[in-house]
Amino acid sequence: MSAPGAYGATGSPGVSEPGTAGAGAGAGTTIYTGARDVLIVVDVQRDFCAGGTLAVPGGDDVIPVINRLVPLFGRWIYTRDWHPGHHVSFSKQPEFRDGSWPPHAVQGTAGAAWCAGLEMPMNAILVSKGDDPDHEAYSAFQVKRLDLAEFLRLRKVERVFVTGLATDYCVRQTALDARAAGFMVLLVEDAVRGVAPDSTASALADLEAAGVLRVRSRQIVDSGERPPAAYDEHGDPVDRDD
Ligand code: VGL
Ligand code: ZN
């Protein structure tokens, strides 16, 4: 393999080290980011942070961790929940579980805005989801007008680093969908927070069973390698000498 790049010092990708708890990449293992990586930032929006209608405990704590990770990558996808005023998941007596949420992340409202202090490269890709009033969409991979998996595949993405809110819902679904689409998926465990302890624990179990690796942000180091600036419609890098 060339340069630290794609898998870096993680050794054989997808294999957790013996003796480590959970599907970790090994507590002391360094993971070098490279040209075939994408950072996905899930739903870091005001309604999921302190003072929001669906505030996730500790939700704001992911912001500095994500901000530190951003410059280690060359491609970024920021997803946002973007519900119409009436959405199938909204409930007047919300139970704060799947299918019964308080109104949140309503298009154009302050609660749908990105959290204050969240850094975002101007060439990040933004994906809105959940805008169909009749269907829940926890993951950007479920957005029908966009084949996100194919988009990433064509651009030679192999590894997806998942951060954001909330571990037990949108983060979980995003990571599972990325795995199902064949990507190596790394959940950055200090860059995510969950709505509730029980559902978060079962989400982490689901992710482990699916082969999602758990890493801490401090393990992630920049190799300096970056993807080509552009690809053509066949997924070949565009080389311009002019
Ligand atoms: C989410 C509940 C409802 C999330 C979105 O971003 O995890 N959770 N809508
Ligand atoms: Zn939602």
Active site (annotated) includes residue 129: yes
Span 52-75, mean pLDDT? 98
Active site (annotated) includes residue 170: yes
Q: What phi-psi label fits residue 169: left (phi over 0), alpha (psi between -120 and 50 degrees) or beta? A: alpha
Domain residue limits at 90: 34-222
Q: Report yes or no on 89 lying in a domain.
A: yes
Asked whether residue 7 carries a pLDDT value surpassing 60, the answer given is: no
CATH of the domain at 179: 3.40.50.850
Q: Report yes or no on 26 lying in a domain.
A: no
- Rounded to an integer, what distance in angstroms lies between the CA atom of residue 220 and that of residue 77? 18
Asked whether residue 162 carries a pLDDT value surpassing 80, the answer given is: yes
Asked whether residue 96 carries a pLDDT value surpassing 90, the answer given is: yes
User: What backbone torsions phi and psi does residue 19 show, to the nearest 5 degrees?
Assistant: 85, -5
Cβ–Cβ < 8 Å for 172, 163: no
| Among 23, 50, 54, 45, CA closest to 196 | 54
Q: Report yes or no on 18 lying in a domain.
A: no
Banded model confidence at residue 25, pLDDT cuts 50, 70, 90 = low
Nearest CA to ligand 1 atom 8: 169
Q: Report yes or no on 192 lying in a domain.
A: yes
Banded model confidence at residue 242, pLDDT cuts 50, 70, 90 = low
Q: Report yes or no on 150 lying in a domain.
A: yes
Asked whether residue 39 carries a pLDDT value surpassing 50, the answer given is: yes
Banded model confidence at residue 2, pLDDT cuts 50, 70, 90 = very low
Query: Would the CB of 165 count as within 6 Å of ligand 1?
Result: yes
Q: Identify the pLDDT of residue 229.
A: 85
Q: Report yes or no on 80 lying in a domain.
A: yes
Banded model confidence at residue 192, pLDDT cuts 50, 70, 90 = very high
Domain total in the chain:
1
Question: Residue 166 CA: which ligand 1 atom is closest?
Answer: 7
Query: Would the CB of 90 count as within 6 Å of ligand 1?
Result: no
State the distance from the centre of ligand 1 to the C-alpha of 68, rounded, in angstroms.
23
Better pLDDT: 103 or 13: 103
- Rounded to an integer, what distance in angstroms lies between the CA atom of residue 42 and that of residue 94? 22
State the distance from the centre of ligand 2 to the C-alpha of 105, rounded, in angstroms.
7
State the distance from the centre of ligand 2 to the C-alpha of 130, rounded, in angstroms.
6
Q: What does pTM read for this prediction?
A: 0.89
Span 231-240, mean pLDDT? 85
Span 176-187, mean pLDDT? 98
Q: Report yes or no on 22 lying in a domain.
A: no
Q: Report yes or no on 163 lying in a domain.
A: yes
